Structures are given as C-alpha cells and as structure tokens.
Chain A
C-alpha cells in the first residue's frame, strides 16, 4: 500500500507496470480512480453503470500504455481517454430524448417556470432540482457540445484547461461552445413561448 504522505511516483509506477508488475498496476488504478470517476460521473451516459465505464477506461489505459510518450502529464493523458470513452458511449445512445415539460418533476417544472418569468436567483433549497434540470437541458445537445458546456458552465474550467483535458484545440472548443449556446438559446426561446402561451 503506498504511503499517503509521499507524492505518488507516476513515472516509477509506469516503469514497473511496463515490466508487468501487477502490484504497480493496482497502485496506478487506485491513484487514478478519483480522477477517472469524477469525469465518468459528470459525463455519465444514461443506463451505463459508472463502475463498468471506469473499468473500460482503465483497460484502455493499460492497452495503450506503450503509446504514452510523456508529452503531456500522465493524468491528462488518462483524462483524455476517459472523456473520449464517455463521448463514445453518449454517441452510441444516438437518439436524445426530446425535452418535454411533462417529463419534469413538479419541483423542476416550478424552478424552470420561475427562472423563465422572473430574474430572481434560484432558492438554495431548489438547487438539486436546478441541477437535474440543467442536466436534462444538456441532454438535448450533441455529446461533444454537452461536454464543452458542462466543463465551461458547471465546472467553470477555462478553454486552456478543457483543451488539456480533452486534447481538442482551443478554436474547436470555442466553436463547439458557440454552437451549443446557440442551441440552448433556441431551446429557451421555445420554452419562453410555451410559458407565455
């Protein structure tokens, strides 16, 4: 078991993993699990258990380990694998369910109605409903666009941080953010029309 006081020696661990040391592989998984599971939880496709997805990501990591040249920090390299795996699963689901007011819970519908009709902050006790609502709205976007908006608006990451995490260039991220915001804007306009009528 690695000592928690010492910084984790990624390079040394990778060297041992390459020599087929199973204990080192176990240590690497334990060390990277929090990073991977956070990515999985924030981009988890519907109906896919998080542990299965995490396992798939780690197996991909071990399979591609020989390709890692050290150009980026190892956690960044793993987070790219995690992000692309989540996106692949989201793409595989293909059809995004249409956003319908009828599918919202009573609290979610109230929160949505309130933010559409006034400019007040969402009350703290409705934060969970707002959280669910945001995810349902994001489900309307393409997987790549969802990811960019989640990272920008929910995790408040910078374009440079998103680029490091996904491996996409900054222009592409800006284009995806622009496209996603336009789609969300259109969705809100439709919802406002419904609200008025």
Chain B
C-alpha cells in the first residue's frame, strides 16, 4: 500500500490533520509594520551614507595629502626629475649614431 492510498495510515492522518483549523490572527501585530519599515529604511540609508562618508571623504583627504606632500617636498621632487632626465640621456660619443653602433656590434658577434 503506498502513501497516496486513502487507506494508508499516512493518508488518514493527514486527512484528519487537515480538518484542524488554524484560527490564529493573521494581521500584523501592533507596531510590527512600523518597526520593520523603519529598520529597512535605516538599513538602506546606512549603506549609502557609509559609502558616501568613507569613499568621498577618503578621496578628499588623499588629494589634500598628495598636494601637501608635493608642496613641502617640491625641491626634492624637482631635483629627482632633473637627475632622471640626465641619467636617461645617452652620451653620444664621437657624434656617431648609437643605433648604427649597436647594429655594428651585433654583426661582429659570431655564433659557434
């Protein structure tokens, strides 16, 4: 006998159980909707304001710090860039083309 058979104990138990009426009130308890809606709105506001507060303020502070740091260390920064330009410049020995010299060196290399 399977469970769908009306003579099965399960079918008779569920048939009896279905006759039990749940007469409890289904309306929201007093203050429930107010509490839940307030919590929901507070939660939404919290998330957006957290982002605004932290992200935008952090960006502003970061910009200020950068400008302040560059201003107070301007001499160091400018000398770093001028030195870097000097270091990057390749001395041109004898007025020859450095690319031509490089090709010349490469052509003299023999592979065993």
Q: Measuring CB to CB, which residues of chain A are less than 8 angstroms from any residue of chain B?
A: 20, 22, 25-30, 33-34, 37-38, 41, 51, 54-55, 58-59, 62-63, 111-112, 115-116, 119-122, 124, 126-128, 130-131, 133-134, 137, 153-154, 156, 181, 184-185, 188
Say which residue of A34, A127, A130, A134 sits within 8 Å of B26 (CB atoms): A34
List the 4 closest A-B pairs by CB distance, nearest first. A25-B37, A122-B16, A62-B40, A130-B16
Determine if A29 and B37 form an interchain contact, defined as CB atoms under 8 angstroms apart: yes
Measured CB to CB, the nearest residue on chain A to B39 is: A59
Which residues does chain A contribute within 8 Å of B39, judged by CB atoms?
Answer: 55, 59
Of the A-B pairs whose beta carbons lie under 8 Å apart in the complex, a sample of 18, sorted by A's number, is A22-B38, A25-B36, A28-B37, A51-B29, A55-B32, A62-B40, A111-B13, A112-B9, A115-B12, A119-B7, A122-B12, A122-B16, A127-B16, A131-B20, A133-B17, A137-B10, A153-B10, A181-B3
Measured CB to CB, the closest approach of chain B to A72, in angstroms, equals 21
B46 to chain A, nearest CB (A): 11
Would you call B43 an interface residue if the criterion is a C-beta within 8 Å of the partner chain's C-beta atoms? yes
Distance of A134 Cα from B11 Cα, bound (Å):
10
Q: Is B14 in the interface zone, CB < 8 Å from A?
A: yes
- Enumerate chain B residues within 8 angstroms of A137, measured Cβ to Cβ: 10, 13
B104 within 8 A of partner (CB): no
Measured between beta carbons, the chain A residues less than 8 angstroms from B33 are 25-27, 29-30, 33
Give the dominant DSSP class at B's interface.
helix
Interface of A is mostly: helix
Smallest beta-carbon distance A51→chain B, Å = 7
Considering the complex, which residues of chain B in the window 1-39 have a beta carbon less than 8 Å from any beta carbon of chain A? 2-4, 7-10, 12-20, 22, 24, 26-29, 32-39
Q: Is the CB of B32 within 8 A of A51?
A: yes
Taking CB atoms, residues of chain A closer than 8 Å to B2 are 181, 185
Minimum Cβ distance to chain A for residue B78 (Å): 50
In Å, the complex CA distance between A36 and B22 comes to 15
Cα(A62)–Cα(B39), bound, Å: 10
Judge whether A63 and B37 touch: CB under 8 Å.
no
**With A154-B17, A154-B18, A181-B3 given, is the CB distance from A55 to B36 under 8 Å?**
yes
B13, B34, B37: which contacts A115 (Cβ < 8 A)? B13
Is B37 touching A126 in the complex (CB atoms < 8 A)?
A: no
**Chain B residues within an 8 Å CB radius of A120:** 12
Task: Check B100 for interface membership: any CB of A closer than 8 A.
Answer: no
